[in-house]
Amino acid sequence: MQKMKPTVLILCTGNSCRSHLAEGILRAASGDTLNVQSAGSMPAGYVHPLAIQVMKEIAVDISTHHSKHMNDFLRQPVETVITVCGNADQVCPVFPGQANRHHWGFCDPAKAEGTDEEKRAVFRKVRDEIKMVFEAYADGRRDQAKAAQSA
């Protein structure tokens, strides 16, 4: 019998930028070992075009992602919840089967001001910060799985 992949749910308020950047990066970094999802406490209803653009620059396609509400996940087992903004951390419910919860806050690139290039630079900076944290998380999960197999 094949074991279900643990679900990691990444939450933000609007589910339009940071949570999608993190979902795409963690999905790419973890390969086929995790079911990575994202959602928001007040979904914006779209994925920010600059988020899609800066992810393409690192060969991660999030153009098919869509904004979802965190309540959509209340009836399914969620092993780990990761909040990437303070508002989502404050309103986050406990999900069925939840074993872990992390809060790693990042600046909201959607609030960037200036020219298109200046805004894109902010999106790149936040993307790179998220990439560093979530790739390290994926490495840790892989190490944990290897240790469990050899025990």
* Residue 12 falls in the annotated catalytic set: yes
> In this predicted model, what pLDDT tens digit does every residue of 73-121 receive, in sequence order?
988 899 999 999 877 667 777 787 888 999 999 999 999 999 999 999 9
> With contact defined as beta carbons under 8 Å apart, do 22 and 130 qualify?
yes
85: annotated active-site residue: yes
pLDDT at 89: 66
21, 55, 85, 126: the catalytic one is 85
Q: How far, in Å, CA of 17 to CA of 93, rounded?
A: 21
Domains defined for the chain, CATH in brackets: 7-150 (3.40.50.2300)
DSSP state of 69: B
Opening angle at CA 44, ends 88 and 86, nearest 5: 20
Residue type for 142, please? R
**pLDDT tens-digit readout, 37-72:** 999 999 999 999 999 999 999 999 999 999 999 999
**Both structure tokens of 92:** 């986050």
Per-residue pLDDT of 121-146, as tens digits, reads: 999 999 999 999 999 999 999 998 88
Per-residue pLDDT at 88? 67
89 contact partners, CB below 8 Å, separation of at least 6: 11, 83, 103, 105
Active site residue 17: no
**Which residue of the set 12, 62, 70, 138 is catalytic?**
12
